[in-house]
A = this chain, B = another copy of it.
Amino acid sequence: MMRSKVLSLVARAGSNRTMSTATKLTTVEVNDKTGIATLTMNRPPVNGLNLELLQDLKSSIDEVEGNKSRGLILTSSSSTIFSAGLDILEMYKPDKDRIRAFWTQLQDTWLALYGSSVPTAAAINGHSPAGGCLLATSCEYRVMVPNFTIGLNETQLGIVAPKWFMASFLSVLPQREAERALNQGRMFTTEEALKVGLIDETANSKEEAIEKCVAFIGTFAKVNPLARSLTKQQFRAADLQQLQNERKEDLDKFLFFVNQPAVQKGLGIYLEGLKKKAKKQ
């Protein structure tokens, strides 16, 4: 898929739509010493997952796959938000072609991250609802800074997390915990997330979170990289295959749902709320 270079509407939570150039929204830095790549999402203010950020994420994951990195650490340039999830502006009064490209890109980006051949870890240095939680649970390890929240809160927003969001969630949580949290749209505090197993460790700062991710990736030092990646991909094959088999149905289901008047109305009210909240501040 061609990398979009055109101007695009970017949602800024708590503000109006503003024009912004679609410059690169992610950065990849490979540590010379460890050989580990840090992939930073950098779409202020909340790393809303719009088409362009998803494209950049996919390109960066591909880059890390290609540059022989020993691992990938996903983090955010924001000090309070890991990622706020799907950009609601992509779904509200959507353009027909763009929303298809958006969802297809989300599928591609997830397939690349969840199925990545390199060890992956998330340094969760801010809130991580919905699509943010999807990205975090698609990694193999999660380290989170305190006083933030994480969860698949789609039902709170009146939408339904697709099956593959559920698959990522279930790769981490027991079925009973996963179902209840999904139904409730529950956001877990860092401490609650640790207790239930949604994250693996806590860290007092982004730096410490990255250090702990480096240590996790270090546990693969003596492991044959090819055997490791084939093992991971075989373990995740059923989840990956299910989306591969149902890509079109999944897209159609999303389009049908998002175009329901009630859903559009809900998204409109939600965006109004964000605007008012912003004016008060």
Contacts and interface: CB of A to CB of B under 8 A. Distances in A.
A20 interface: no
A172 interface: yes
A176 interface: yes
A233 B227 CA distance: 31
A26 B141 CA distance: 42
Interface of chain A: mostly helix, strand, loop or mixed: helix
A165 B166 CA distance: 22
Contact of A226 (B166, B220, B235, B262): B262
B163 A171 contact: no
A140 B222 contact: no
Contact of A266 (B141, B174, B224, B230): B224
B171 A230 contact: no
B183 A230 contact: no
Given A160-B234, A170-B175, A119 B224 contact: no
A223 B184 contact: yes
Interface of A: 119, 140-141, 154-161, 163, 166, 170-176, 178-180, 182-185, 197, 219-220, 222-224, 226-228, 230-232, 234-236, 262, 266
Q: Which 3 A-B pairs rank lowest in CB-CB distance, beginning with the nearest?
A: A158-B224, A155-B227, A160-B230
